[in-house]
Amino acid sequence: MTAPRGPQPTAVEVHHVSRAFTGGGHTVYAVREVSLTIPKGQLLAIVGRSGSGKTTLLNLIAGLDKPDSGRVSLDGRDITDASESELTELRRHSIGFVFQSFGLLPLFSAAENIGLALRVAGVSSREEARRTTELLGLVGLSARAGHRPYELSGGEQQRVAVARALANHPALLIADEPTGELDTVTGAQIFGLLREASRDGITIIMATHDPLIVDYADRVVEMSDGSLLPEGEGVVTGALYRRD
C-alpha cells in the first residue's frame, strides 16, 4: 500500500449499516452491521470473495440502494432518508462511477461519452469541449477522441470510463471491479489513474479482486458474508499481502 498521509476531513461515514434480501422463505444479509469511516482523498479498496457484500455496500454508499438499518453520511450529510431526486442530484454532481463492463454508449465516440456526463450536469458547450479535451489528455487518449468503443481496446475503454467519472470533479468516485476485464499491465494503468485522482483530493472506494491493489491503495479492508472483518485479519487480504 502507499504511505499514509496526515489526518484528512471525513468524506464517508457508514454507521452500523445492514441490508437484507428475502426470497424463497429465506433472508440473506448482503451487508450486516458494517461501520466504516473514510477520510477525504483516501483510496480505499474493499476485497472479499464473490457474494461477500462488496457491491451492495458500494450501492448503499452511493445512494443506489437504502439500508434496512444504519446510516450513511457523505461529507457530513446524512443521505439515508434523502429523496430520489436529491440522490439523483448528488450522483449527478458529486459522485463518479466506474464499472467492470465500462458502461460506454456504443454509438458515441470517446469524446462524446465524456461530454455527455458534462452536458447532463448542465455545463456550457464551451466548458464541455474544454473539459473533455483536458480529460482525454489526462488519460492519454487525445488521439482516440473520435473513436467509438468498439474501435478501442478494453484498457482504452476503461480509461474513457475513468475520464467520464472524473468529468464533473466528483468528491467521491465509486469503482466496482474496474480492472476485472483487463490484463495486468492495463489494470495497473487504471489503478495508477485512480491513485492520481485520489491525490487530487477525490475519495475513491473500489471493490476489487485484483492483487495489484496493494501497490496503489491507501487502505484495504475485507468483507466476508456481509460483514467487515477486523483490518489485517482476513483470508483474502492475507493472501494479497503474501503475494510475491
**Which string of DSSP letters, residue by residue, matches 26-82?**
EEEEEEEEEEEEEETT-EEEEE-STTSSHHHHHHHHTTSS--SEEEEEETTEE-TT-
3-state secondary structure 191-205: HHHHHHHHHCCCEEE
**How many residues are listed for the chain in this entry?**
244
Tens of pLDDT along 146-192? 999 999 999 999 899 999 999 989 999 999 999 888 889 889 999 99
* Cell numbers placing 80: 439515508
Tens of pLDDT along 75-122? 989 999 999 999 988 888 899 999 888 889 999 999 999 999 888 888
Residue-range domain boundaries for the chain: 10-103+169-242
200 within 8 A of 40, measured Cβ to Cβ: no
Let me know the angle formed at the C-alpha of 27 by 24 and 32, rounded to the nearest 5 degrees: 155
Looking at 3.50.50.60, 3.40.50.300, 3.10.20.30, 3.40.50.10490, the CATH number of the domain 10-103+169-242 comes to 3.40.50.300
Task: Please report where in the chains the cell 484495504 appears, as a residue.
Answer: 220
Instruction: Report the distance separating Cα 147 and Cα 215, nearest Å.
Output: 32
**How many CB atoms lie under 10 A from the CB of residue 224?**
16
Single pTM value for the model:
0.87
3-state secondary structure 212-233: HHHHCCCEEEEEECCEECCCCC
Average pLDDT over residues 34-41: 95
